[in-house]
Amino acid sequence: MASQIGFKRLYSIQLAIAAIATFAGSFALLYLYQEAGFSYMDLMFAFPAGFLSWGVVVLLAGKHKPFRLLRLGLLVNSLNYLFLVFFVKNLPLLILYNLIQGFYLGLFWLPYDTVYFRMGDKFKTAFHSSIAFLSYPLMNTFMPFIAGSFITATGFRMVFSLASFASLILFVLTGFVRYEHEIDFTFSKMREISRRIRSLLVIEGFWQGVDWIALPLISFYYFTSSLSYGSFLSYIGLTGALASLILCRISDSKGQRRVFAYSSIFMLAALTIISSFTKNELGWTIVRGAVSFTAGVLGPFTVSILLDYVGKAK
């Protein structure tokens, strides 16, 4: 029997997908580099394909019942983990893997985020935006360490197979959720909503696009085992979680979201440049912790500013 979605039920879906992603997704590049034998250049060349397919989803989404898209994304995610570990053996297949990954990201997160921020005005604050962003840092504090231990004991294949199975279970469970409203995901609608903070979104998106591929590839130089790499990811997850909660609560009391957001951008730029000059594992760990702390602030502020504008436009 289907049940009406509420905030707790909705957020439990996000926690589940965050657990899957930080357990297995965090190690995809490490697997492709260490075990599948792809070079740094291969990985950097194939990575942008995911943004292309993500963009296709945004452009073509139209009007849909959000959970249909979301569940399709979960199914794609489940199949892509199996595709990764059993079939990605050359560069064209690596590009295809990244394309499929982009489709999953668009199909799942576009409807999920829209439903989340329609839950009511009480969620339209930086603190409650930080709750939306908290799931990944929270799961990142322990899931990579657990996965690293699994990989050391059983290998990558077991971890990715478990992630595929978990995504499939989540696909089945979300079939019991009832959310009857259609939502307009057309590109022109989203472009109009975001026009007043477009520059902020572009800057944040550019930094994330570079950092998502640069962070793991550089970290492989310092952390050569799955366990040490997982421990490192758990550490930066903890710093991001703390930042997201503490500073966003301060922002709500001060009401200076834009100041905090742009300050975070400048801090991220400075810390990212500093990180390129680190010479050892300790220096990289300290600076990347600071980067994670700052990044944990930027995302919630950006969303909160957007929601402020949407609220004023109504």
Contact, 95 vs 208, CB < 8 A?
no
Confidence of residue 189 (pLDDT cuts 50, 70, 90): low
Window from 67-76, 173-182, 292-301 with minimum mean pLDDT: 292-301
pLDDT at 129: 67
Neighbour count for residue 224 (Cβ, 10 Å)? 11
**pLDDT at residue 104 is higher than 70:** yes
Domain span at 208: 3-313
Residues 218-230 pLDDT 10s: 888 888 888 898 8
Confidence of residue 17 (pLDDT cuts 50, 70, 90): very high
Residues 106-155 pLDDT 10s: 999 988 888 887 765 455 555 666 677 778 888 988 999 999 999 999 99
What CATH number is given to the structural domain containing 34?
1.20.1250.20
- CA–CA separation, 200 and 181 (whole Å): 30
Q: How large a percentage of the chain has pLDDT more than 90?
A: 33
Which residues, at least 6 apart from 67, have a Cβ–Cβ distance to it below 8 Å? 5, 111, 115, 174, 177, 179
Between 181 and 284, the more confident residue is: 284
pLDDT at 3: 45
pLDDT at 242: 77
What is the tally of structural domains in the chain?
Answer: 1
**pLDDT at residue 15 is higher than 90:** yes
pLDDT at 225: 86
